[in-house]
Amino acid sequence: MERQPAACPGVAPTLRPPVEPLREGDALPTSGRLLDRARSALLVIDLQESYRGKLHGEERLVAASQRMLQAAALLGVPVVVTEQYPKGLGATREEIAAHVPAAARRFEKTSFSALGAPGLREHLAELGRDQVVVVGIETHVCVSQTVHELLASGRAVHVVRDAIGARFALDDETGFAKLVGSGAVPSTSECALFEWLRDARAPEFKAIHRLVV
pLDDT single digits (tens) 10-54: 544 444 444 455 455 555 455 669 999 999 999 999 999 999 999
User: pLDDT tens digits for 100-112?
Assistant: 999 999 999 999 9
DSSP class of residue 48?
B
Residue 97 has pLDDT above 60, yes or no: yes
Residue 184's nearest CA partner among 136, 144, 137, 213 is: 144
**Mean pLDDT value across residues 167-196:** 98
Catalytic (active site) residue 46? yes
**Residue 17 confidence (pLDDT):** 46
Instruction: Please state the rounded mean pLDDT for residues 86-95.
Output: 98
Whether 207 shows a pLDDT value over 50: the answer reads yes
- pLDDT recorded at residue 13: 47
What percent of the chain is predicted at pLDDT more than 70? 85
User: Is the distance from CB of 172 to CB of 56 less than 8 angstroms?
Assistant: yes
Out of 109, 162, 172, 199, pick the active-site residue.
Answer: 109
Beta bridge partners of 136: 45, 164
Catalytic residue selected from 8, 46, 171, 191: 46
Residue 171 in this model has a pLDDT that exceeds 50: yes
| Residue 87 is among the residues annotated as catalytic for this protein | no
Segment 166-181 mean pLDDT: 98
Q: Closest Cα to residue 140, out of 175, 96, 190, 177? A: 175
Report the percent of the chain where pLDDT is more than 90.
85
Active site residue 178: no
Contacts of 156 (CB under 8 A, 6+ apart): 32, 33, 130, 131, 132, 185
Domain topology for 40-212: Rossmann fold (3.40.50)
Mean pLDDT of the chain: 91
Domains of the chain, by residue range, sit at: 40-212
pTM: 0.87
What's the mean pLDDT in 133-150?
98
Of 8, 36, 130, 142, the active-site residue reads: 142
> In the prediction, which pLDDT does 39 show?
97
Residue 104: its pLDDT value, please? 98
* Whole-number pLDDT of residue 11: 45
Cα–Cα dist 205/213, whole Å: 12
